[in-house]
């Protein structure tokens, strides 16, 4: 029996093998059988390797996320592929295991063959994956800077005046004009230029004129680095790198990647070269970048070549009175005894908003006697020393506002603010320290009390219009107000404040009591200055300066000293017996042990300094009340028993000290480090901020109750780059805890912001951790596995104030959480909640409680839960949720503006009660996103959500049960994905008021879908969609779609789409506003637009078509006329990728030769050649164009004004090519390319080429002919890689010697990188280095295996007794890597000098004989000597 079974199996196997052997070698098939066990074992080994690689990647991803980095897409894709492969492996291993017994005792050869073959295929797949793991770069990248958006900076109370309205529309029209790139807005100080500029920026973005709007203040003394930093942060670019700071050129290059950007430069006083000083590309450098500048001086507009200059005047009398009435709280019923002086006061203000607003605010609510007194003071003042008469009026008004401040403390706070740099965001906490040190508030015995007084003063100043609120404990001072404050400070007896513009300071400063200076130009502060009355010294800056102790010797009266970025010894302050407040922020300190001599100090901040330990001597500071060591990143140790000696300490800041150690129990650390228990021994300590590992918490330790705290226990704080994040915030009550909460139990009653991660053993938040959390405003729970609900009121009654102040709730990976509250919730529960984010809470069945509210006093129900403040709801991955809002809760959603739900597999309804849905009004709803909700049903609730007149953005993706969609006619952005036949056939546009009609009536199917405000349509993976205009599904009726203002159209992976618009619909469809079209992976689409539609595409700017395998034409129809090309007058960018059927010819050339076309990218379109490139092209990119087509005598019609590309062996083969505006040329994987420029080249034909990238062009032997090399005056960057046959960058000149009179020179070349060009033997001739590369900044050479010399030359041309010295002054970065045959940087006898070189790397160059050295001035020298032989294998 057994032998019969084996025979059958063998017969079956032989049959299988015979079939395979028909087409495959026999030996390979038998190998599968013979090596079965080896293959299985090898597969298991590969699985282990992949699992290990996947785990390492997960660790890197977690680390990147902990540092607030965003994860690269390819990294996420690789992780997903690894997970899928490992999952598939489990299935294959099960198959092998199930058949193991049979395979061992009675082998089934066919089955063994199949499994072995599968194993080998899987081994190959895993090997490829492992290779990708090996090639992986950094897993994360920094998130864009969170600077305030232009909308945030706009005044919410902005009101147009005649002047500002006229100016506004002039600027908007200028921004629309392609020929205008620089606009100037000028007017006197305080007239409202900044406010108007911000409003212009906001509206320009809303009008879709720009993708990004940047605003930065230049000011009278421009800090160029700060300006660059602010611009860079808006575009997600860091000006700092490992070598220090990036150059203007790098910012310039980065800004050129922003297709449409507006840069607002506020408050310019003098002309600035934007390109050289800042790095802003405008004009021909970058048409998409525009600049709006504001200035007080009209001549600045002229000096900076503004093509459009707009003046902003003052308000006229009526407008001034309207503004004054509003700010002073007056109306038509106000008493004449007030209105009479009020109108006189308004007249005195001269129509200047900066004068009107503060004065009106100061007089609001005053009696008529106070109004009369104000007018008397105002009319008698004359500030004749002020040059500008209008600003004089403003100063008079501001003085009146200043005098209305009731106490001197508030006035002094105001004057202190004037000492900060212009346009600085002033941290209020700094003012607290200054006020304490200056003893500003008499009778205050604690810093907490002084802080309260300062905050009260700041509120008065903000309400008076003298300070501007920046949020988060920060204020700003208008520059006119600041100038007034400095003027008034110089005239008050006993107060003499001033700012120093130049050092050293002369005798006129001796009487000053407060001085500030911010001077980055000096290397060292002066010595021997004497200020006998100086009580307050403030220094700001961004560059480190050395400071001698002698600078401070003449300041014996100093009480407050605040310094930034200084190299300073603490011994400088040892004789200052009045010094009470000392801020040394981001300073490099020496003589830290001298701290004990500063015994008068009450406040000491060493935030961001370089100290590694706080020595025991600091314990002698018995008067110290505040110690700030925050963000001392290398602080490791505080001496034991030091903290407990600071018996008067009230506030201690240690956040951001990631390396700080603490003593634990009886360990050896106890004798070296301070213990947390010392904190509880300080009787006056009420404020602590601290980052600590949970392992540093002693057993049983509990923090005592504090007034303010900011603790991170086991949760790392990302190293911040923004100044505001670095600053101390003493009034927060914040806890971020990982794992154990025991040490913080006494703080829960007062906590306002709470994050718990991985805290286990608590079935609920309340009452397990605290009874109420009544002060909590933000709650973030993650991975707290055992927690089933937030509030368990089933066994114990909870306070009525439970979570009554909560504003933000975030729940993530709460795998056991089922609901928020398991019993009737308390009164006030969630009534202030504004934002809810819930993700991956798989057991949650009810999000918002249904049970009625109960109070302690009442036995019966009192009311239902109200979400009256809720604005944002985001739900992801909650598979047990069946609805979001109970109906009675939904009635209170009047503030909800954003609703996003994704991947909730069981969700059926948004609002639970379908019958009562019409009673719910969501009048604020602006954005709805519904993604991957397979059970979300067609109910009346869709009308509630999707027909609100406020709705602007709607995304519906893969919600197959939403068979009838009624969408608001006011919608602006519409995104659909994976829509079924039924859904596409039942789309309706509808107003909310129409919903009560029968939605299924036939009239809805007859009416066209009309969206008059729609600007974006994005269709994804709607495979049954055959046409968009009208909407036609594979099975369904036709539905007309009307979107007259459509601006952006995106269609992706709609495999059934045959046409976007039917020619029959042209008469009813308008594309007059369409500016961007993207079509991707629509395999049945044969053309984009019919000819009759193409004529109306006058606003089209961007066209991208990718992977449409049947697309033959962009414009369909018969031969077209010249007017068609003129109809695409605004087309700027065209991208054609992987279009195998797209043909060259007139109809497609119409698009490619649009006279406005600036950017053309073509990849893998083999039938497109020949095609015409327009003369005006600026960016030209070719990928994988391998088709060879030689067409001679090609004529180009004159109206086209273009250049024919007919051959990818010799790209520019005719002398007639004229691409004089071409700036960027990129060539990738042109495997047939032998020559880029082959014919004679006219000087002007490529004169603006700035960027040349050549990659993987394997047959290319040289880049430039000598002729073209002599005629590239604007070339900035040269990048060449993977050109394996490349032998020369510049072809050796074969012409007679008289042609050498013009040497080769690249006058603007700043960046050269060469990678993996194995046949290249030298970079350039030595003659080019001598004067031919005057601006070269970066030179990188890597894996050029045959390179022998960087600069090649004949050593016989150099005198044996004298070196030839060649200077490359700008070279900053030189890297040469993995050049095994490199002998020298230059020939013997040449001496290179690099004065600016800061980054030199030489690695993997074992045969180099060039010696690099550094002289006393920091210049790097490179000499090649005959007898010098040193191997440099390591990084220099």
* Tokens matching residue 204: 């320009």
Return all residues near 777 (Cβ < 8 A) that are at least 6 apart. 752, 753, 805, 806, 807, 808
What average pLDDT does range 1256-1285 have in this prediction? 92
Minimal CA–CA distance to 863: which of 829, 912, 835? 829
What average pLDDT does range 271-292 have in this prediction? 92
- For residue 688, the model assigns a pLDDT of 95
Q: CA 1304 to CA 1270: how far, in whole Å? A: 5
- For residue 1256, the model assigns a pLDDT of 93
Least confident of 244-253, 1004-1013, 1215-1224: 1004-1013
Max distance between CA atoms of the chain, in angstroms, equals 125
Q: CA 1103 to CA 1089: how far, in whole Å? A: 12
Tell me how crowded residue 6 is: count the other CB atoms within 10 A of its CB: 15
Q: CA 531 to CA 555: how far, in whole Å? A: 5
3-state helix, strand, coil in the chain (%, to 5): 30, 25, 50
- For residue 793, the model assigns a pLDDT of 81
- For residue 379, the model assigns a pLDDT of 65
The string of pLDDT tens digits covering residues 129-140 is 888 888 877 887
What average pLDDT does range 67-89 have in this prediction? 81
CA atoms within 13 A on the CB side of 289: 22
Q: CA 226 to CA 237: how far, in whole Å? A: 13
| C-alpha 388: how far from chain center | 42
Q: Is the peptide bond before 106 cis (omega within 30 degrees of 0)?
A: no
Q: What are the φ/ψ torsions at residue 51 (nearest 5 degrees)? A: -60, -40
* Tokens matching residue 911: 């609002």
What DSSP string runs through 92-118?
HHHHHHHTHHHHHHS--HHHHHHHHHH
What average pLDDT does range 1065-1081 have in this prediction? 82
Residue 128 pLDDT grade (very low, low, confident, very high; cuts 50, 70, 90): confident
Return all residues near 454 (Cβ < 8 A) that are at least 6 apart. 413, 428, 431, 432, 435, 441
Helix (H, G, I), strand (E, B) or coil at 343: helix
Torsion of CA 532, 534, 540, 544, to 10 degrees: 30
Residue tagged 């033959």 (tokens)? 1112
Q: Quick check: 576 and 552 in contact, CB under 8 A?
A: yes
Q: CA 1006 to CA 62: how far, in whole Å? A: 54
**Cα four-point dihedral sign 434, 438, 439, 440:** negative
- For residue 1340, the model assigns a pLDDT of 95
Q: What are the φ/ψ torsions at residue 327 (nearest 5 degrees)? A: -75, -30
Residue 652 has pLDDT above 90, yes or no: yes
Q: Which residues of 377-407 are buried (b: 16+ CB within 10 A; e: fewer)?
A: ebeeeeeeebeeebbbbbbbbbbbbbebbee
Residue 1119 has pLDDT above 70, yes or no: no
Residue 9 pLDDT grade (very low, low, confident, very high; cuts 50, 70, 90): very low
Cα separation values, 1356 from 1322, 1353, 1362, 1410, 1432, Å: 18, 9, 12, 18, 27
Residue 972 has pLDDT above 60, yes or no: yes
Return all residues near 858 (Cβ < 8 A) that are at least 6 apart. none
* Tokens matching residue 1378: 């993995």
Q: Quick check: 1227 and 1282 in contact, CB under 8 A?
A: no
Cα separation values, 1433 from 799, 1381, 1436, Å: 71, 13, 9
Length of the chain equals: 1436
- For residue 21, the model assigns a pLDDT of 41
Helix (H, G, I), strand (E, B) or coil at 416: helix
Tell me how crowded residue 954 is: count the other CB atoms within 10 A of its CB: 21
Enter the DSSP assignment of 622. Answer: T
Q: CA 975 to CA 900: how far, in whole Å? A: 13
Between helices 368-379 and 353-363, what is the axis angle to 10°?
A: 140
Higher pLDDT, 76 or 36: 76
Least confident of 16-25, 197-206, 398-407, 674-683: 16-25
| C-alpha 1425: how far from chain center | 49
Q: Quick check: 684 and 704 in contact, CB under 8 A?
A: no
Q: CA 6 to CA 1037: how far, in whole Å? A: 61
Question: Which of 560-566's residues contact partners 24+ apart within 8 Å by CB, and which partners?
Answer: 560/433, 560/434, 560/437, 560/438, 560/535, 560/536, 561/536, 561/537, 562/430, 562/433, 562/434, 562/537, 562/538, 563/537, 563/539, 563/587, 564/539, 564/540, 565/541, 566/525, 566/539
Q: CA 1433 to CA 1401: how far, in whole Å? A: 10
- For residue 1254, the model assigns a pLDDT of 96
Residue tagged 């001077």 (tokens)? 519
CA atoms within 13 A on the CB side of 969: 14
Enter the DSSP assignment of 852. Answer: P
The string of pLDDT tens digits covering residues 286-339 is 989 999 999 877 778 988 999 999 988 778 887 888 888 888 888 766 777 888
Q: What are the strands, taking DSSP E only, across 608-680? A: 613-614, 626-628, 637-638, 651-654
Minimal CA–CA distance to 1103: which of 1063, 1142, 1056? 1142
Least confident of 288-292, 780-784, 1121-1125, 1141-1145: 1121-1125
Rg of the chain over Cα atoms, rounded to whole angstroms, equals: 37
Residue 1153 has pLDDT above 80, yes or no: no
Residue 446 pLDDT grade (very low, low, confident, very high; cuts 50, 70, 90): very high
Residue 597 has pLDDT above 50, yes or no: yes
* Tokens matching residue 1084: 């049945």
Q: Which of 137-151, 667-681, 843-857 has the highest mean pLDDT?
A: 667-681
Considering the chain, what is the average pLDDT of its residues?
Answer: 81
* Tokens matching residue 368: 């008529």
Residue 2 has pLDDT above 60, yes or no: no
Q: Quick check: 186 and 309 in contact, CB under 8 A?
A: yes
Tell me how crowded residue 822 is: count the other CB atoms within 10 A of its CB: 19
Residue 983 has pLDDT above 90, yes or no: no
* Tokens matching residue 122: 């899987």
Q: Which of 96-100, 764-768, 1060-1064 has the highest mean pLDDT?
A: 764-768
Q: What are the φ/ψ torsions at residue 254 (nearest 5 degrees)? A: -70, -40
Least confident of 490-494, 774-778, 902-906: 490-494
What average pLDDT does range 591-616 have in this prediction? 90
Q: Quick check: 569 and 589 in contact, CB under 8 A?
A: yes
The angle subtended at Cα 1263 by Cα 1261 and Cα 1267, nearest 5°, is: 120
Q: CA 806 to CA 432: how far, in whole Å? A: 29
Q: CA 667 to CA 640: how far, in whole Å? A: 13
């Amino acid at each position: 029996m057994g032998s019969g079974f084996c025979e059958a199996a063998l017969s079956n196997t032989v049959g299988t093998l015979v079939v395979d052997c028909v087409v495959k070698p026999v030996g390979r098939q038998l190998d599968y059988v013979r090596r079965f066990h080896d293959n299985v074992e090898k597969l298991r080994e590969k699985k282990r390797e992949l699992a290990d690689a996947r785990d390492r990647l997960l660790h890197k991803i977690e680390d990147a996320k902990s540092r607030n980095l965003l994860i690269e897409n390819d990294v996420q894709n690789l992780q997903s592929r690894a997970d899928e492969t490992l999952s598939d492996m489990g299935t294959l291993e099960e198959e092998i295991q199930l058949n193991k017994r049979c395979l061992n005792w009675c082998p089934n050869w066919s089955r063994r063959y199949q499994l072995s073959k599968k194993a080998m295929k899987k081994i190959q797949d895993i090997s490829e994956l492992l290779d990708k793991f090996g090639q992986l770069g950094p897993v994360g990248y920094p998130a864009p800077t969170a600077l305030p958006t232009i909308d945030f900076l706009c005044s919410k109370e902005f009101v147009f005046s005649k002047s500002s309205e006229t100016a506004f529309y002039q600027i908007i029209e200028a921004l629309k004009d392609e020929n205008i790139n620089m606009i100037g807005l000028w007017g006197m100080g305080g007239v409202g230029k900044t406010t108007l500029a911000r409003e212009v920026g906001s509206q320009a973005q809303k009008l879709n004129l720009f993708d990004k709007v940047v605003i930065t203040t230049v000011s009278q003394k421009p800090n160029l680095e700060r300006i660059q930093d602010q611009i860079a942060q808006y575009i997600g670019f860091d000006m700092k790198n490992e070598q220090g700071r990036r150059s203007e050129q790098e910012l310039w290059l980065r800004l050129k990647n922003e297709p449409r950007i507006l840069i607002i430069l506020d408050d310019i006083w003098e002309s600035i070269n934007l390109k050289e000083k800042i790095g802003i590309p405008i004009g021909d450098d970058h048409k998409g970048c525009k600049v709006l500048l504001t200035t007080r001086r009209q001549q600045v507009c002229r000096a900076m070549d503004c093509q459009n200059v707009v003046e902003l005047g003052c308000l006229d009398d009526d407008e001034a009175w309207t503004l004054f009435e509003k700010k002073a709280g007056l109306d038509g019923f106000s008493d004449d005894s007030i209105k009479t002086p009020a109108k006189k006061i308004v007249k005195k203000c001269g129509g200047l908003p900066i004068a009107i607003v503060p004065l009106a605010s100061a007089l609001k609510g005053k009696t008529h006697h106070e109004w009369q007194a104000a007018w008397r003071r105002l009319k008698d003042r004359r500030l004749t020393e002020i040059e500008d008469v209008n600003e004089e009026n403003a100063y008079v008004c501001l003085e009146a506002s200043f005098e209305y401040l009731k106490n001197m403390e508030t006035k002094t706070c105001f004057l202190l603010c004037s000492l900060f740099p212009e346009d600085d965001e002033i941290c209020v906490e700094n003012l607290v320290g200054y006020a304490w040190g200056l003893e500003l508030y008499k009778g205050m015995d604690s810093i907490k009390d002084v802080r309260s007084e300062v905050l009260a003063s700041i509120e008065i100043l903000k309400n008076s219009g003298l300070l501007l609120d920046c949020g988060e404990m920060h204020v700003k001072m208008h520059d006119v107000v600041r100038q007034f404050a400095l003027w008034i400070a110089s005239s008050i007896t006993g107060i003499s404040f001033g700012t120093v513009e130049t050092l050293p300071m002369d005798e006129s400063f001796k009487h000053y009591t407060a001085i500030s200076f911010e001077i980055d130009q000096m290397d060292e502060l002066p010595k021997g200055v004497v200020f006998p009355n100086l009580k307050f010294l403030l220094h700001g800056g961004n560059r480190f300066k050395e400071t001698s102790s002698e600078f401070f010797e003449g300041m014996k009266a100093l009480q407050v000293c605040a310094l930034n970025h200084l190299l300073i010894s603490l011994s400088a302050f040892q004789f200052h017996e009045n010094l009470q407040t000392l801020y040394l922020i981001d300073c490099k300190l020496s003589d830290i042990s001298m701290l004990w001599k500063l015994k008068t100090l009450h406040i000491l901040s060493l935030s961001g300094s370089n100290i590694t330990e706080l020595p025991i001597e600091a314990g002698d500071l018995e008067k110290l009340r505040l110690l700030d060591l925050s963000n001392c990143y290398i602080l490791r140790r505080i001496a034991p028993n030091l903290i407990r000696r600071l018996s008067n300490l009230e506030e201690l800041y240690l956040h951001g000290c990631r390396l700080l150690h603490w003593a634990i129990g009886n360990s050896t650390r106890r004798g070296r480090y301070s213990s947390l228990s010392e904190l509880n021994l300080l009787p006056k300590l009420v404020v602590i901020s601290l980052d600590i590992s949970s392992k540093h918490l002693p057993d049983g330790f509990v923090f005592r109750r504090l007034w303010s705290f900011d603790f991170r226990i086991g949760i790392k704080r990302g190293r911040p780059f923004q100044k505001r994040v670095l600053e101390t915030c003493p009034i927060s009550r914040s806890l971020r805890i990982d794992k154990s909460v025991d040490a913080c139990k006494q703080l829960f009653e007062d906590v306002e912001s709470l994050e718990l991660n991985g805290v286990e053993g608590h079935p609920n938040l309340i009452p397990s951790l605290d009874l109420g959390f009544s002060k909590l405003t933000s709650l973030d729970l993650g991975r707290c596995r055992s927690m089933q609900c937030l509030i368990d009121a089933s066994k114990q009654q909870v306070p009525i104030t439970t979570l009554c102040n909560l504003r933000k709730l975030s729940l993530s990976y709460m795998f056991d959480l089922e609901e928020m509250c398991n019993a009737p919730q308390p009164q006030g529960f969630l009534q202030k909640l504004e934002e809810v984010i819930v993700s991956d809470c798989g057991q949650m069945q009810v999000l918002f409680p249904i049970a009625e509210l109960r109070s302690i006093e009442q036995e019966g129900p009192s009311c239902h839960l109200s979400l009256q403040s809720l604005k944002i709801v985001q739900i992801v991955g909650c598979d047990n949720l069946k609805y979001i809002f109970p109906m009675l809760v939904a009635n209170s959603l009047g503030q909800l503006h954003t609703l996003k739900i994704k991947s909730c597999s069981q969700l059926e309804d948004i609002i639970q009660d379908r019958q009562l849905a019409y009673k719910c009004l969501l009048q604020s709803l602006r954005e709805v996103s519904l993604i991957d909700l397979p059970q979300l049903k067609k109910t009346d609730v869709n009308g509630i959500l999707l027909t609100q007149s406020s709705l602007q953005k709607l995304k519906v993706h893969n919600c197959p049960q939403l068979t009838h969609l009624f969408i608001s006619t006011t919608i602006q952005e519409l995104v659909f994905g994976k829509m079924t036949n039924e859904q596409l056939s039942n789309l309706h546009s509808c107003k909310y008021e129409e919903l009560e009609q029968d939605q299924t009536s036939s009239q809805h199917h007859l009416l066209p879908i009309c969206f008059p405000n729609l600007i974006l349509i994005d269709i994804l993976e709607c495979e049954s969609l055959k046409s968009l205009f009208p909407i036609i599904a594979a099975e369904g009726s036709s539905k007309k779609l009307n979107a007259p203002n459509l601006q952006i159209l995106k269609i992706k992976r709609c495999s059934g789409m045959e046409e976007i618009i039917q020619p029959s619909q042209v008469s009813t469809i308008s594309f007059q506003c369409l500016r961007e079209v993207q079509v991707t992976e629509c395999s049945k689409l044969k053309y984009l637009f019919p000819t009759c539609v193409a004529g109306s595409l006058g606003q089209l700017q961007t066209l991208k078509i990718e992977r449409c395998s049947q697309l033959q034409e962009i414009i369909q129809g018969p031969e077209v006329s010249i007017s068609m090309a003129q109809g695409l007058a605004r087309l700027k960018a065209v991208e054609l990728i992987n279009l195998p059927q797209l043909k060259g010819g007139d109809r497609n050339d119409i698009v490619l030769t649009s006279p406005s076309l600036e950017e053309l990218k073509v990849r893998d379109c083999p039938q497109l050649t020949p095609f015409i490139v327009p003369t005006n092209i600026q960016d030209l990119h070719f990928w994988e164009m391998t088709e060879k087509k030689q067409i001679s005598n090609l004529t180009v019609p004159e109206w086209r004004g273009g250049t024919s590309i007919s051959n990818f062996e010799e790209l520019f083969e005719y002398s007639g090519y004229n691409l004089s505006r071409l700036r960027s040329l990129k060539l990738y994987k042109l495997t047939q390319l032998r020559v880029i420029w082959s014919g004679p080249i006219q000087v002007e034909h490529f004169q603006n080429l700035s960027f040349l990238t050549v990659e993987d062009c394997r047959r290319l032997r040289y880049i430039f002919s000598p002729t073209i090399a002599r005629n590239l005056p604007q070339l900035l960057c040269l990048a060449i890689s993977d050109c394996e046959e490349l032998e020369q960058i510049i072809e050796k000149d074969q012409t007679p010697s008289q042609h050498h009179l013009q040497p080769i020179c690249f006058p603007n070349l700043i960046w050269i990188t060469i990678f993996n060009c194995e046949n290249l033997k030298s970079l350039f001739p030595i003659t080019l280095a001598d004067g031919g590369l005057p601006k070269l900044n970066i030179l990188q050479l890597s894996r050029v295996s045959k390179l022998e010399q960087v600069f090649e030359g004949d050593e016989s041309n150099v005198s044996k007794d004298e070196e030839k010295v060649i200077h490359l002054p700008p070279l900053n970065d030189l890297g040469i890597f993995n050049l095994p045959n490199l002998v020298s940087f230059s020939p013997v006898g040449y001496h290179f000098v690099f004065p600016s070189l800061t980054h030199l790397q030489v690695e993997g160059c074992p045969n180099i004989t060039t010696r690099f050295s550094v002289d006393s001035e920091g210049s790097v020298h490179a000499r090649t000597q005959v007898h010098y032989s040193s191997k440099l294998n390591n990084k220099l």
